[in-house]
Amino acid sequence: MLRDGRIFGRKTSGFTLQWHLTNACELHCRHCYDRTDRTALDLADAIGIVHSLESFCRKREISGNVCLTGGNPILYPYFWELYQAVAERGFTTSVLGNPVPEQIVSRIVEIQKPTYYQVSLEGLEDHNDEIRGPGHFQRAVEFLSILRNAGVRANVMLTLTRRNLDQVIPLGEMLQGLADRFTFNRLAQVGEGSDLELPTRDEYVDFMKKYTIASRTNPVLGFKDGLFNIFRYHFKRSPTGGCTGFGCGAAFNFIAVLPDGEAHACRKLPSFIGDAVELGIEGVYESAEAKQYRKGCSKCRFCRLRDVCGGCLAVSYGQGLDVFKDLDPHCFMRERARYLADF
């Protein structure tokens, strides 16, 4: 069991390793967090991380999920060997990637059916293809049918910016019958994403109201942003799990490993917590840096929603704020009565 009881009272029997196997990618999305040429691990070092994850989970008596992503994870030269090794050790798997041919999906399923395969869309067709490249929208939509035909849960993720704010709900409507779940993350203004804009707090809360209403008739719309729990708290409803099931789960029930073995509390901002090859998963999880990220923002610490929210450290970082001291710039917990008076 993973416990954070001395701080927030969180505990969980599951842990996710989000593994960015390679930065190689056939796309060049305008909000990409990292286009650096990181050297991908050789197979021996990658298998070493799998072994260390196995030991970490056994010691803690927890289940493990390995989420393989990139870049495009299929472009990692040892993808199939690694996927086989992960499956053989009893971990559940998921894939965050680009549309791939049907035979690749079949080969993945033959080894082990992932709990889901997630692709990204950034809005309706014209806007999406401006961000992700010509023809991507249609390829992604066609790929969702391939996933469903293979019996694989099809998830869609969107990176929310000021420009696509009004396209999220229409896209969600279009995805009914095509995807199992559609969610979004707010843009982290990191890497190439620093050139894009976020909505203001007023604009974002107004959007959240519309999204909440739309979700009542559209079961595809999911809730990933912990700030939605302000609505639920205000109206005395049970909270959702937020980003990782525990609000911001950075370095708690989730860590990210980059292509060269660097471990980070969250992929969307520089949050180094150790080298997974040298230290193993146990070592990076128990590092002083990881413990600091688990504490999160000090101004959130005694909030009643801390266990299911904690804001988004990546959004704060992208806005030039101190992630350990400053509130998420879109947080409206203290002003919820004013914001929600007409809802």
Q: What is the pLDDT along the chain (343 residues), one digit of tens a residue?
A: 887 765 557 888 899 999 999 988 777 776 776 667 788 999 999 999 999 999 999 999 999 999 999 889 999 999 999 999 999 999 999 999 999 999 999 999 999 999 999 999 999 999 999 999 999 999 999 999 999 999 999 999 999 999 999 999 999 999 999 999 999 999 999 877 778 899 999 999 999 999 999 999 999 999 999 999 999 999 999 999 888 888 899 999 999 999 999 999 999 999 999 999 999 999 999 999 999 999 999 999 889 999 899 999 999 999 999 999 999 999 999 999 999 998 9
Contact assessment for residue 53 and residue 68, using Cβ atoms and an 8 Å cutoff:
no
Instruction: Please tell me the predicted confidence (pLDDT) of residue 9.
Output: 74
Cα–Cα distance list, 318 to 139, 198, 204, 252 (Å): 31, 10, 16, 21
> 268 and 43 in contact (C-beta within 8 Å)?
no
pLDDT at residue number 190:
86
pLDDT for the residue numbered 144: 98
pTM for this structure?
0.94
Residue 180, domain CATH: 3.20.20.70
**What was the pLDDT predicted at 191?**
76
Q: Would you say 271 and 313 are in contact if contact means Cβ atoms under 8 Å apart?
A: yes
**199: alpha, beta or left? (left if phi > 0; alpha if psi -120 to 50):** beta
Joined tokens for residue 308: 């299911």
pLDDT value of residue 34: 63
Residue 178: its pLDDT value, please?
97
pLDDT at 81: 98
Domain hosting residue 294, numbered range: 2-339
Sheet architecture: strand order including 254-257: 181-186, 154-160, 117-120, 92-96, 63-69, 14-20, 254-257, 262-264, 272-275
pLDDT at residue 36, as a whole number:
73
Number of Cβ within a 10 Å radius of residue 334: 11
Residue 12: per-residue pLDDT = 85
Provide the pLDDT for residue 33.
Answer: 65
How much is the pLDDT for 175? 98
**Residues linked to residue 156 through DSSP beta bridges, in sequence order:** 119, 182
DSSP 200: P
pLDDT for 5:
62
Q: Give the count of domains, the chain.
A: 1
Q: Measured between alpha carbons, how far is 141 from 119 in angstroms, rounded to an integer? A: 10
Q: Which residues of 20-57 are buried (b: 16+ CB within 10 A; e: fewer)?
A: bbbbbbeeebbbbbbeeebebbeeeebbbbbebbbebb
| pLDDT at position 30 | 67
